[in-house]
């Protein structure tokens, strides 16, 4: 086990080094905004935390490549609802309603079992030390690395919430049919910028979506005499065929048909080609401001990687609980 963890640590260090990531100071400073998170917060209390998390994510992704997108999405859905506090992981109880049954999450979010396995392992090594919120942040980074994307040093020190909000989950997480104005309002509501919005949308270079999340686009095109001006004709036809089955609401379509399991800039290439799966994706080329950013990512994937890395750090710092706020859960599904 020790040799395996050492190899995982080596892989992480190489990923960061090869990514040419600038060193981050011990006190977090993201785009000039000081914060309470820091790199290597567990260096003394649990030095093997990152290789342990990496080993579990590596195992999960090797068994199911889609899990990389799922773990990345868990972190996103957590941070957009009252901050990055692992509230998304809390199960419903007799007197408590969590966020898992909110419309954007129900029958959609996955990867909870992977987080459970990571937490259980960490509790055996470092009891009541590593927060579930930090596990989500590190697992998201590792999912990107293992899919060929950029690396960054995750800033840690988050604590876990004592509550959750189904209402906030329903209201704060952008929907698949959102236009640019709605998307931007959701991102600005949590302190993120237009640039962050486009960069983080690039996470849709991996993963899948149910036909139900984009069916309205297909039905609109089918009921008219002309093709959907926002969708390539052959792409539209292939989706209509895929989603015409009896169980269409359960049928999954790849967000990126070309490199579905690789973290790259193909998502933005697809948008220019009118092959964005979700309306909220394709909308990014209909607005002049967002289209310019999309085109820059098509031309230079390294610019996308750098912006995505920076935006992940910014997102990961949203309304974090630190110090004596919140708690370190022993089980990510319930408060202590």
Return the active site residues. 77
Question: Rounded to whole angstroms, how far apart are CA atoms 135 and 226?
Answer: 48
* CA-wise closest residue to 308 among 265, 273, 270, 262: 265
What DSSP state is assigned to residue 90? P
Q: Work out whether strand 155-156 and strand 38-39 pair parallel, antiparallel, or are unpaired.
A: antiparallel
Query: Residues near 301 by Cβ (< 8 Å), separated by ≥ 6?
Result: 264, 265
What DSSP state is assigned to residue 330? S
Question: Rounded to whole angstroms, how far apart are CA atoms 137 and 290?
Answer: 26
Burial 236-275, CB ≥16 within 10 A → b, else e: beebbeebeeeeeeebebbbbeebbbebbbbbbbbbeebb
Contact 49, 130 (CB under 8 A): yes
């Amino acid at each position: 086990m020790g040799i395996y963890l050492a190899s995982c640590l080596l892989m992480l260090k190489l990923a960061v080094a090869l990514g040419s990531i600038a060193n981050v100071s011990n006190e977090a400073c993201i785009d000039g905004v000081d914060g309470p998170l820091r790199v290597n917060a567990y260096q003394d209390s649990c030095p093997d935390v990152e290789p342990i998390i990496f080993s579990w994510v590596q195992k999960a992704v090797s068994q199911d490549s889609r899990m990389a997108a799922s773990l990345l999405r868990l972190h996103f859905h957590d941070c957009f609802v009252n901050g990055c506090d692992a509230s998304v992981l809390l199960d419903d109880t007799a007197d408590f309603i969590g966020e898992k049954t909110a419309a954007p999450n129900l029958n959609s979010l996955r990867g909870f079992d992977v987080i459970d396995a990571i937490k259980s392992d960490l509790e055996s090594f470092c009891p009541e030390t590593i927060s579930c919120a930090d596990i989500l942040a590190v697992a998201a980074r590792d999912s990107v690395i293992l899919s060929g994307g950029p690396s960054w040093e995750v800033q840690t020190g988050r604590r876990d919430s004592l509550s959750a909000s189904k209402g906030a989950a329903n209201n704060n997480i952008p929907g698949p049919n959102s236009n640019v104005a709605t998307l931007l309002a959701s991102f600005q509501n949590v302190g993120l910028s237009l640039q962050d919005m486009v960069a983080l949308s690039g996470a849709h270079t991996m993963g899948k979506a149910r036909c139900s999340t984009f069916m309205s686009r297909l039905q609109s095109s089918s009921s008219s005499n002309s093709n959907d001006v926002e969708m390539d004709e052959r792409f539209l036809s292939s989706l209509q065929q895929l989603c015409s089955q009896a169980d269409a609401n359960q049928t999954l379509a790849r967000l990126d048909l070309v490199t579905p399991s690789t973290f790259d800039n193909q998502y933005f290439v697809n948008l220019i080609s009118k092959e964005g799966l979700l309306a909220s994706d394709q909308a990014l080329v209909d607005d002049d401001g967002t289209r310019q950013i999309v085109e820059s990512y098509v031309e230079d994937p390294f610019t996308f990687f750098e912006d995505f890395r920076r935006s992940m750090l910014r997102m990961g710092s949203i309304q974090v609980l630190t110090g004596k706020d919140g708690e370190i859960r022993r089980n990510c599904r319930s408060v202590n």
